[in-house]
Structure 1
Amino acid sequence: MSLRIVPVDLASAREFVALHHRHNDPPIGHKFSIGVADGHELVGVAIVGRPVSRVIQSEGATLEVIRTATDGTRNANSMLYGACRRAAFALGYDRLITYTQADESGASLRAAGFRVVAQRPPRPGWDTPSRRRTNKADNVSRTLWDTLTSVEVRDASTADSDDE
């Protein structure tokens, strides 16, 4: 098995998410999408867009990993999160966030350099009179994660080396 990051267009990423994501439909739009392949076979995708939270949107240069989906290939999700992180910072964004549901461990996120920022309580749903939506993953606690920027990573590694 030789995993590698590959480009993937939104239509292909959405199709993969529709087939493999456990609890959400594919998002409508994105800033970019990334795939991971084993040989010539696509085994996972990540879709990155602007944050769903309007509060976080207002903070500025932040992106959100809106969906990841894999066929279960070992290490594919960690590889996707790492590639999303590198791409977001290469594009000049300061922060990359994502959410996990209460029953998800976050091991792939930790492996890719993400950290827990907050625990979010269950919300009753996304359906509102002004924007009708089918409720699917409602009433589930979530964990908010983010990544360190390249400057923070450099500062942290310098601080660590100063201690030795």
Structure 2
Amino acid sequence: MTLTIVPITFAEANEFVRRHHRHHRPPVGCKFCVAVSAGGAVVGVAQVGRPVSRALDDGWTLEVNRLCTDGHRNACSMLYAAAWRAARALGYRKLITYTLREEGGASLRAAGWKVVAETDGGSWSCPSRPRVDTHPLQAKLRWEAA
């Protein structure tokens, strides 16, 4: 079945992430969302927003905050490529995302992304702003399309 890039609302993308993402809840906001469909049914979404890390939020960079599919072959790489095309069209110079170290990254490599850093992971919680961690805390790889 042929995959096609289609528009999707933030609410619809959040619902897809709620139903299908392995280890994250939907983000609280985004700049834009894009979806991929097969036979008229949405099989994957990408939600792109400002970088979570303040140090990377320079006004020229966006982050793929969530990418989620139902497992359709090539859907991830199609979404990563479409997200980068859209970000570039909006004037952004860089698009980043993170993967867990044990995730292979084949979809990102297929879309032309490169590993640019390795993070230590850990909790965002601190005494001045305690948080409940509901996501993986291990080291991650930062990928970039630029």
TM-score range, shorter chain: over 0.9
Q: Within the alignment, does 1:47 sit opposite 2:55 as a pair?
A: no
Report the 3-state secondary structure (helix = DSSP H, G, I; strand = E; otherwise coil) of the residue aligned with 2:141: strand
Task: Quote the residue 1:96 is aligned against.
Answer: 95
Q: Within the alignment, does 1:80 sit opposite 2:85 as a pair?
A: no
Q: Within the alignment, does 1:145 sit opposite 2:139 as a pair?
A: no
Task: Quote the residue 1:117 is aligned against.
Answer: 116
Report the 3-state secondary structure (helix = DSSP H, G, I; strand = E; otherwise coil) of the residue aligned with 1:19: helix
- Number of corresponding residues: 146
> Which structure 2 segments of 5+ residues have no match?
none
Question: Which structure dedicates a bigger proportion of its chain to helix?
Answer: 1
**Which structure would you say has the larger Rg?**
1
Q: Within the alignment, does 1:62 sit opposite 2:55 as a pair?
A: no
Task: Quote the residue 1:108 is aligned against.
Answer: 107
> Which structure 1 segments of 5+ residues have no match?
149-164
Task: Quote the residue 1:134 is aligned against.
Answer: 132
CA displacement 1:112-132 (0-9 Å, x = unmatched): 111000111121x12334544
Counterpart-to-counterpart distance in 1, 2:145 and 2:80: 10
Task: Quote the residue 1:26 is aligned against.
Answer: 26
Percent identity over the alignment is 54
CA displacement 1:123-147 (0-9 Å, x = unmatched): 1x12334544321224311000101
Is the 2:23–2:136 Cα contact (8 Å) retained in structure 1? no
Counterpart-to-counterpart distance in 1, 2:55 and 2:135: 21
Counterpart-to-counterpart distance in 1, 2:55 and 2:126: 18
Aligned-CA RMSD value: 1.2
Counterpart-to-counterpart distance in 1, 2:128 and 2:80: 33
Is the 2:118–2:142 Cα contact (8 Å) retained in structure 1? yes
Report the 3-state secondary structure (helix = DSSP H, G, I; strand = E; otherwise coil) of the residue aligned with 2:124: coil
